[in-house]
Chains A and B, each alone.
With several copies, the nearest count.
Chain A
């Protein structure tokens, strides 16, 4: 969306919040963010912006703090005792960690899909309907559920057994159900922690297509190990790595972030290049 110096007709996101065009206000601005678990500093000194209506990918080796940072973005880390976020973490200019901010309100706008599928032990229908009911969405619940399930490329497989328990689904189906569940509340941002690691390629394609569709309305941050996926779906990519300090502590660091094309073709940092080239198709 070109920025022609004036406000283009703005769309109103479901949360009721006006979103600016990507170039205008970053959806997240991180300034010197670090996260620790108890004494253990897991991630330090992260500075970056995440733009609205784009897909941003976090890549990097295992243990570098991708999931940790992602969870900080919707305050899921609040739930881990001992976890502590420092630095400035702004969401549309507002401090996410200001005392007056209610984490629940944050998560209503910033949804999340996890690495391990975690459906509720309820029916498929109730799994999807849980979120909309929670945020008080009115209207045709059946329609909302169907739409979300279609969005997650699951509708065809489950339409005739919506009342079955979600645990009767296979792993891949369960994960897609979790995606449907997150989509159903039509959040402002969707955070995904390796959402496709349990999906087969066909479903993966559908989900990736879905992301492309969704980013017209939502901002998406995705953690992935699959660099192809990052290259395919993300406008911007952030590469993290682990630094071992003198005391032997392994601390996660943001190495570089930028246009995906740039990161993959002309990384400025040696470590990024090593990682990218060390990878395999």
Chain B
């Protein structure tokens, strides 16, 4: 049957093509898609840049220091006369900070998130949520100074029986980093909980579930992928935090120690300090910056692969 043309369609007169239509928007749509795809692909470029900027100095580093010594050695003293390049001490320093920070921020952050999403009145939420977001922006330098000048002395006064040998404490630095990431964890996981459809909440309440049960058994599992993402983001912030540790953790000593109360160095603080220090470029010591950077990068990579698996496993579909 004859189809007369669609408005603005040249092909519409063709009775065989009742569906042909304004193709004009087509190009626009394609162009937009290409632009958006480029935006997304840009991130790959960034990663490539990071890898490239790390890889050459790292290769040069491992030309002089065996990989095994780097990864397994227990003394980190690149700038010493008897130089030693065992990275474990600063890896352990980083781990202490991360574990401490998570121990502080996950319970506090999730508690805040659940409270805000499920308990708080909208008025409270309207005040507290933005406040958390402002706090998220507290400069890390400020938190470092606070940890060093306030928290650490206070901790010694409160718990004099612990071995506070130095004005520094890696543990206190970890607690401060924990404080720093609380808003992040809280805010991201609150978003996840709030985006759980209201129908689920209603359904659970209608079964006589208490708020606690609704929060923990329905909302929490439904939002778990977002919550894991929040914790992963927090973890990576903790691993990557430089300034707080630079100020409040000192640099410890080159040997492998697990002293929570004492001074120690982390990987990022080492990079930050050394890169702005007086080390001359082209030396092995200078190259350690990149080797440590590469290690950090690989560690976060591995962590993320694991996290992505977890998120995928827990992602719940609704609607």
- Given contacts A93-B16, A121-B221, is CB(A104)–CB(B202) below 8 Å? no
Determine the distance from Cα of A74 to Cα of B222 in the docked complex, in whole angstroms.
25
Q: Convert A67-84 into 0s and 1s, putting 1 for each residue whose CB lies closer than 8 angstroms to a CB of B.
A: 000000010100101000
Q: Contact: B199 with A104, CB < 8 Å? A: no
Q: Which one, B1, B25, B205, contacts A92 given CB within 8 A?
A: B1
Return chain B residues, CB-CB under 8 Å to A92. Answer: 1, 3, 18
A157: CB under 8 A from chain B? no
Q: Which one, B16, B209, B218, contacts A94 given CB within 8 A?
A: B16
Q: Contact: B200 with A120, CB < 8 Å? A: yes
Q: Contact: A102 with B19, CB < 8 Å? A: yes
Q: Which positions 180-203 of chain B face chain A at CB distance < 8 Å?
A: 197, 199-203
Q: Which one, A16, A19, A121, A130, contacts B222 given CB within 8 A?
A: A121
Determine the distance from Cα of A185 to Cα of B6 in the docked complex, in whole angstroms.
14
- Given contacts A16-B7, A18-B4, is CB(A105)–CB(B205) below 8 Å? no
Determine the distance from Cα of A156 to Cα of B17 in the docked complex, in whole angstroms.
41
Determine the distance from Cα of A17 to Cα of B19 in the docked complex, in whole angstroms.
10
A38: CB under 8 A from chain B? no
A250: CB under 8 A from chain B? no
Q: Which one, A15, A104, A112, contacts B210 given CB within 8 A?
A: A104
Q: Contact: A94 with B18, CB < 8 Å? A: yes
Q: Contact: B3 with A111, CB < 8 Å? A: no
Give the residue among B7, B22, B209, B222 with the most A Cβ atoms within 10 A: B209
Q: Which one, A79, A93, A100, A130, contacts B207 given CB within 8 A?
A: A130
Least CB distance from A133 to B in Å reads: 8
Least CB distance from B200 to A in Å reads: 6
Give the nearest-CB partner of A168 in chain B: B317
- Given contacts A81-B121, A120-B218, is CB(A102)–CB(B21) below 8 Å? yes
- Given contacts A79-B202, A107-B206, A111-B206, is CB(A96)–CB(B222) below 8 Å? no
A62: CB under 8 A from chain B? no
Give the nearest-CB partner of B26 in chain A: A102
Determine the distance from Cα of A91 to Cα of B3 in the docked complex, in whole angstroms.
12
Q: Contact: B317 with A105, CB < 8 Å? A: no
A63: CB under 8 A from chain B? no
Q: Contact: B208 with A107, CB < 8 Å? A: yes
Give the nearest-CB partner of A178 in chain B: B203
Return chain B residues, CB-CB under 8 Å to A102. Answer: 19, 21, 23, 26
- Given contacts A93-B16, A119-B203, A120-B218, is CB(A25)–CB(B209) below 8 Å? no
Q: Contact: B209 with A104, CB < 8 Å? A: yes
Q: Convert B292-319 into 0s and 1s, putting 1 for each residue whose CB lies closer than 8 angstroms to a CB of A.
A: 0000000000000000000000001110
Q: Which one, A15, A20, A107, A181, contacts B205 given CB within 8 A?
A: A107
Return chain B residues, CB-CB under 8 Å to A187. Answer: 208
Q: Which one, A12, A79, A101, A109, contacts B4 given CB within 8 A?
A: A12
Determine the distance from Cα of A121 to Cα of B4 in the docked complex, in whole angstroms.
36
Q: Contact: A185 with B221, CB < 8 Å? A: no
B127: CB under 8 A from chain A? no
B122: CB under 8 A from chain A? yes
Return chain A residues, CB-CB under 8 Å to B197. Answer: 118
Determine the distance from Cα of A79 to Cα of B199 in the docked complex, in whole angstroms.
12
Q: Convert A103-129 into 0s and 1s, putting 1 for each residue whose CB lies closer than 8 angstroms to a CB of B.
A: 011111101111010111110000000
Q: Contact: A25 with B1, CB < 8 Å? A: yes
Q: Which positions 1-17 of chain B face chain A at CB distance < 8 Å?
A: 1-8, 12, 15-17
B217: CB under 8 A from chain A? yes
Return chain A residues, CB-CB under 8 Å to B317. Answer: 121, 165, 167
Give the nearest-CB partner of B7 in chain A: A16
B141: CB under 8 A from chain A? no
Give the nearest-CB partner of B316 in chain A: A121
Q: Contact: B21 with A121, CB < 8 Å? A: no
In order of increasing CB-CB distance, the 10 nearest A-B pairs are A108-B208, A118-B199, A105-B21, A121-B316, A112-B206, A131-B207, A20-B1, A107-B208, A118-B203, A92-B18
A-B contact pairs, 17 of them (CB 8 A): A12-B4, A16-B5, A20-B1, A81-B122, A91-B19, A92-B18, A93-B1, A94-B16, A104-B25, A104-B208, A112-B202, A114-B199, A114-B206, A121-B221, A121-B316, A131-B207, A134-B213
* Residues of chain B at the chain A interface (Cβ within 8 Å): 1-8, 12, 15-23, 25-26, 121-122, 197, 199-211, 213, 217-218, 221-222, 316-318
